[in-house]
Structure 1
Amino acid sequence: MRIPTLFLGFSALILSSFASATTIELDVNGLVCAFCAQGIQKKLHAIPATADVVVSLEKKLVAVSLRDGQDISDDDLRHALTDAGYTVKDIRHVDESLDDVRQRLKTKTP
């Protein structure tokens, strides 16, 4: 039985989206000012696999988008932030773009 090429391409797309997350979110304690956010952004941008970083002081959230085909271990992220004096409470790998995270952070929750 021959499987249509379109189906194979769609299957590969679905599988690749589950294979690796596009964004890593970290819940971080100790974020209190814009200087904190700037320092975290600078530290995480120094990691070669980092494409971009968003820091929300209000939500105490750091989100890191990854370069295509690259990853950063949870241990490396935790180490980078704890060395800078922060406490990492949780790390989540999500299949969401950093733009989507920014949009979600702008949305007020009741």
Structure 2
Amino acid sequence: MKKLSFLTVLTFVTLTVPLAFAGEVVHVKTLGLVCDFCSKAIEKVFLDTGKVESTNVDLDNALVTINMKDGQILDDEFIKTKITEAGYEVQNIHHQAEVKHD
């Protein structure tokens, strides 16, 4: 029984660990984001963390897209705080695993 439990845990870890280290894309829907100058400031805040590969601010849709480096994460509270400090309201935050094609 111990061997079966061990194998079950080992299989689970083997299958889920690579997902934890894959790059992640975070989509943040905001309210009031209309200024190009301010969007550049938001991009810089996230790039300066050292955890972010790239960012994109879509002013037409008030959407901030954050592409994380492999194995890096930013929690929702940090993201919300930084965008709120910039003067904008966060409507929602959606995390999406990045799909890599080798």
Regarding TM over 0.5, the answer is yes
User: Of residues 49, 52, 56 in structure 1, which corresponds to 2:51?
Assistant: 49
- What residue in structure 2 maps to residue 5 of structure 1? none
Aligned 8 A contact 2:56 2:64 in 1: yes
Moved over 3 A (4+): none
Deviation per residue, 1:73-99 (Å, 9 max, x gap):
0000001110111100100001246xx
Unaligned runs of 5+ in 2: 1-10
- What residue in structure 2 maps to residue 88 of structure 1? 90
How far, CA to CA, are the matches of 2:48 and 2:41 in structure 1? Answer: 11
**Higher radius of gyration, 1 or 2:** 2
Unaligned runs of 5+ in 1: 1-7, 98-110
Deviation per residue, 1:5-43 (Å, 9 max, x gap):
xxx9xx83xx434x4661010001121121121111111
- Tell me which amino acid in the other structure corresponds to 2:96: V
User: RMSD between aligned alpha carbons?
Assistant: 2.0
- What residue in structure 1 maps to residue 33 of structure 2? 31
The 3 A distance-change label for structure 1 pair 74 and 31 is same
Which of 28-37 and 59-68 deviates more? 28-37
- What residue in structure 2 maps to residue 101 of structure 1? none
Give aligned-pair identity as a percent. Answer: 29
TM-score (norm 1): 0.68
Which of 33-42 and 86-95 deviates more? 33-42
How far, CA to CA, are the matches of 1:43 and 1:30 in structure 2? Answer: 18
SS at match of 1:32: coil
